Structure 1
Amino acid sequence: MSAEQVAREHYRRRRRIVGRLVVVARQLWSRVDPDAITRSWATQLGDLVPVTAAAQLAAAVTADSYLNAVLDAQGANPRPRARVVPAALAGVASDGRPLPSLLYEPAITTLTAIGAGVDVERALAGGYATLETAVRTQVADAGRAADATAMATRDVDTYIRMVVGKTCGRCVVLAGRRYRRAEPFDRHPCCDCVHVPAVEDTVDAIATNPRAWFDSLTPAEQDRQFTKAGAASIRLGADIGQVVNARRGAYGLAPAGARITAAEARMLRGGRDRGQLATRDVYGRQVFTTTEGTTTRGLAGVRLGARERGVKDGGRYRQARTPRLMPESILAAAGDDRDEAIRLLRRFGYIR
């Protein structure tokens, strides 16, 4: 198979995993009691959290075999310097917080809507939309994080962004672009795009022709993706990329994981612009730290099981007690230093 065929088969397998998880999520959400939304959804999370973690694990477990196959298809040496630990990517949200926190948010969405005057049925429908987006995105992010981690352990420095499935205008204009290994993979909620690790002289036609893709849509689909005015401009010959970029908020793309700023990266390196990340003592353990877990992104939802100290069930976590760096954050902080990336990925348990 060609590298593109290998990548598409890899995507199709993960898509099946997501599809099965969505069915379970829908069934569990249907059991929410409109008169006791928080309590009844917290009960359902006892089933949903482990199933979602299992789906994340299933999405991550094939990363090494995928890298081997896609590089072998390009005639490149796929031999890794370490192996991915898929379990490290399961049970945690892609922004580094506990998975139960993220999966509780549909209840918050529902209650917020009700508080704003939306009727209960519509509010619950909105809560389910939030839930479906969350589970789809978390499994896809776990898979992409595993692929990026596996790529960091091999002698390949670039990847190509490949769009798959029913994509959107934001993604199609980026299709086929090459990125450096350390560059984060920007995605939007429910994004299906995937990495295709590529050697410099790969001959596979992985790129998608944006105009051919646009022409394959019906006029109604074109209008929905680009607005009526934007679609009309493209049909008259306007450049798709320019139309997409001109639409306010059209991109909406961001990488998974903690968003490490330049200042945070210097903090992680002990105040240096370059060099190894700094360690600090956290509850008796020396760990590399970030501000993840101390911002609004790190605030968690309900506590499942035993109560957190001073926090009642159905309330909020205060802040994450143990800092957590996700693979995307590690790769961004390490930059083009492969040895540093491998050292940190191993230190955080993502490879062995």
Structure 2
Amino acid sequence: MAKPPADLALARNRQISSITRQLIELIQRIWRTLSAATIADDLEGEAGAAIVAAVIAGQLTAAQGAQAFVAGAMAEQGASAVPEALLVAEAFSGVAPDGGPLETLLFLPAIGVQRRLAAGMTGQQAMIGGLADMARYTATSIADAGRSADQVGMAATRGCVAYMRVVTLPACSRCIILAGQTYSYSEGFLRHPNCDCQTLPLREAEWEAVQSPEQLYASMSEAERRRRFGVAGADAIDQGADMNQVVNARRGMDYAHIYGRRLQVTHEGATRRSVYGRSRDRAGDRFARFAGQRHGTATSNRYFRSTRTPRLMPEEILRISDDRDEQLRLLKRYGYIV
């Protein structure tokens, strides 16, 4: 029985990293034209619009590669690579990792710059910090769009039953202890801001195709071990302590109450103009007029948002249902596949 090479997941990681790197280089060029004194106006204007448009394009590109990635992994393992539904890449763009508006997330660096100025930093120092914030939000948005699309692609391919977490160094301690762990295809992906770990779609439940936490730790220099785990933590691990006891990996989520349960939702992509919004409009949903946000500024009341059916996030759909047919039905309903 063929095993999927970890190189497949690493290639997907390089693809996402390349998209992110090109975006950050573009953002750096734009950022150099901005001023700490006018940063809020700048990000509400043309500069902010250019950054948002670039990140949306990056998310779209990352999502577009998901179905081919899953199909390649299945083909390597001798499983059927034919999906039951086609992924809608546009459904994964324009949304922040927490399900909120991407525009709002990408305006936060302006607030960070203003806070640094208020704390006594120079304009240059404040802008360097703001650029670091923007790079972090951009990298997280691209990686999450790609991983979310990958997981929907796995759900749409019945041959895929699980995925393995592939960790590439440098990585933080929280990710290292999860290296090589295998999860059901529908189980949520543990991640943090700036996390670039990758999934490896699997036909079977257990594989040895990627490095374990212990193998990753052994390949690290002493300085890197101390940087990632802390001096005391690295010393404890060196003396035989359980790495999982040294590091406590956590993930945070935002939830809303819907259908009598706490579920992760988004209002992004829920307007009449969106894929999901058009489907709900045809289904007879009522839409309320509301003011949109354009680069941090409220617009006129020209948008219509569903008042009856919030849009579930893909990972939440996979979490609340164990039945693949029901998962596919919900993914179609909410516009992630067709």
Distance in 2, matches of 1:265 and 1:240, equals: 39
Structure 2: how far apart are the matches of 1:268 and 1:222? Answer: 38
Distance 2:209 2:190 in 1: 18
SS of equivalent residue, structure 2 residue 84: coil
Find the counterpart in structure 1 of residue 311 from structure 2: 324
The residue type equivalent to 2:13 in the other structure is Y
User: 2:162 aligned with 1:158, yes or no?
Assistant: yes
Which residues of 2 match residues 4-83 of structure 1 at below 5 A? Answer: 4-43=6-45, 44-83=47-86
Aligned counterpart for 1:339 among listed residues 320, 325, 333: 325
Q: Which residue of 1 aligns with 2:125?
A: 122
Deviation at 1:90, TM superposition (A): 1.4
Separation in 2 of the partners of 1:180 and 1:32? 46
Paired with 1:107 and 1:138, the residues of 2 have a C-alpha distance of: 17
Instruction: Report what 1:253 is aligned to.
Output: 251
Shift of 1:327: 1.3
Structure 2 unaligned segments of length 5 or more: list them: 264-279, 287-291
Distance 1:148 1:105 in 2: 28
Identity in percent = 35
**2:37 match: secondary structure:** coil
Tell me the CA shift for residue 49 of structure 1.
1.1
Task: Flag the 1:143–1:287 CA change in 2: closer, same or farther, 3 A.
Answer: farther
Distance change (3 Å), C-alpha of 1:213 and 1:13: same
- How many Å separate the matches in 2 of 1:95 and 1:199? 29
Q: Which residue of 1 aligns with 2:89?
A: 86
The amino acid across from 2:92 in the alignment is L
State the distance in 2 between where 1:56 and 1:28 align: 19
2:149 paired residue number:
146
The 3 A distance-change label for structure 1 pair 108 and 286 is farther
Q: TM-score, normalised by structure 2?
A: 0.82
What whole-Å deviation, never above 9, does each CA across 1:205-251 have from its counterpart, x for those lacking one?
23323223223222221111111111111222222222113xxxxx2
Report whether the alignment pairs 1:102 with 2:127.
no
- Name 2:299's counterpart in structure 1: 307
Q: TM-score, normalised by structure 1?
A: 0.79
RMSD, matched Cα = 3.0
The answer to whether the 8 Å contact 1:105/1:301 transfers is no
Cα distance in 2, alignment partners of residues 105 and 301 from structure 1: 14
Distance (whole Å) between structure 1 residues aligned to residue 236 and residue 294 of structure 2: 44
- Which residue of 254, 260, 283 corresponds with 1:266? 260
Aligned length: 312
Q: Structure 1 residues 217, 287: closer, same or farther in 2, change over 3 A?
A: farther
Which of 114-123 and 144-153 deviates more?
Answer: 114-123
Most deviating of 322-331 and 10-19: 322-331
1:230–1:146 distance in 2 versus 1, CA, 3 Å: same
Unaligned runs of 5+ in 1: 246-250, 270-281, 289-298, 311-318
- Which whole-Å deviations, capped at 9, do the CAs of 1:148-195 have from their partners, x for residues lacking one? 111111212321111124222111111111212221101011111111
